[in-house]
Amino acid sequence: MIPDKSDAATGQVPAADNTLRILSYLAGRPAPVAASAIARELSLPRSTVYHLLGTLAAHGFVLHLRDDRRWGLGTSAFELAGGYARQQPLARLGRPLVAALSDRLGESAHLAVMSGGDVLYIVEERAPRRPALVTDVGVRLPAHLTASGRAMLAALPREQVRALYPSASAFPDRTGLGPRTPGELRELLRVVRERGYATEDSEIADGLRSVGAAVRDHAGWPVAAVAMTWAGSDLDEERLAAEVRTTAATLEARLKR
């Protein structure tokens, strides 16, 4: 007898079903939550929730914030989100918007997603007669050093940022510039939140500057960032940032349709 697919989806594999329910629940929360809240909201035994959370944590899909006694999504969940983004909607919807941004301003523009503590570039639009960049499609760079990464980090729950950058050892550098400690990163991200956009100056490549703005999903989670890179200091940063933010907002609106 061939099993009915609907039976499998509704309880033939209860551990898998409950695991996916927990991940979906965490993905919809604006911040990490207690295991007791997960058990209550999903009507699951606490012992089951703790067992599944332990397994998910071992594989990096959830993170246990011990001091707060709460659980949130881990870096492996970011990898899944990045894979989804690379496969279709973000790149497909973002490519013409990034190209239009580059054409309007005559500078290079790109679209990136988070992948653990890195940003991964999924769209790159090079402006003619502009300096070569390291942000080719498929390239990864440390998120805390890039305008794209900073824009997305500033939109993440603070607990998630602490988990990604727990100590000074989590801060690689490229040019000797940029935050070196969790405290320096917290202050930098505070400024990003106040301004509504992120900046970077010579922290990836000497003489190159960038501005970036986050693209959020329905739950307010940063799924990507739009950024623009240029050489020198003769351009109006605020004007460029306004254009980047407009492009990010347009992509955000199209993703939510």
For residue 207, what is the domain's CATH number?
3.30.450.40
Structure-block tokens of residue 76: 């492996």
Domain harbouring 34, CATH code: 1.10.10.10
Predicted confidence band at 132 (pLDDT cuts at 50, 70, 90)?
A: low
130 dihedral zone (left: phi>0; alpha: psi -120 to 50; beta): beta
One domain, residues 206 and 226: yes
One domain, residues 59 and 91: no
One domain, residues 150 and 95: yes
Give the integer Cα–Cα distance in Å for 144 and 24. 27
Contact criterion met (CB below 8 Å) for 39 and 49: yes
Q: In the chain, where do the E strands start and end? A: 62-65, 70-73, 108-115, 118-125, 140-142, 198-201, 208-216, 222-231
Contact criterion met (CB below 8 Å) for 221 and 24: no
Q: Over the Cα atoms of the chain, what is R_g?
A: 20
Beta bridge partners of 230: 209
Give the integer Cα–Cα distance in Å for 108 and 103. 9
Q: What is the mean pLDDT of residues 126-131?
A: 76
**Among the three residues 15, 38, 73, which one is the final residue of a domain in this structure?**
73
**Distances from the Cα of 114 to the Cαs of 131, 148, 164, 170, 248, in angstroms?**
25, 9, 11, 16, 15
One domain, residues 99 and 67: no
Give the residue from 45, 44, 72, 42 showing the smallest Cα distance to 60.
72
One domain, residues 38 and 142: no
Residue 5: predicted pLDDT: 37
**Does the pLDDT at position 245 exceed 60?**
yes
One domain, residues 178 and 66: no
One domain, residues 97 and 220: yes
One domain, residues 165 and 54: no
**Among the three residues 73, 107, 131, which one is the final residue of a domain in this structure?**
73
One domain, residues 113 and 155: yes
State the burial class of residue 233 (Cβ atoms within 10 Å of its Cβ: 0-12, 13-18, 19+): exposed
Containing structural domain, residue 186? 78-255
What total of structural domains would you count in the chain?
2
**Among the three residues 51, 73, 95, which one is the final residue of a domain in this structure?**
73
One domain, residues 168 and 58: no
Give the residue from 127, 86, 97, 78 showing the smallest Cα distance to 213.
97
Is this prediction's pTM over 0.75?
no
Q: What is the mean pLDDT of residues 19-34?
A: 89
One domain, residues 95 and 185: yes
One domain, residues 64 and 186: no
Predicted confidence band at 193 (pLDDT cuts at 50, 70, 90)?
A: very high
232 dihedral zone (left: phi>0; alpha: psi -120 to 50; beta): left
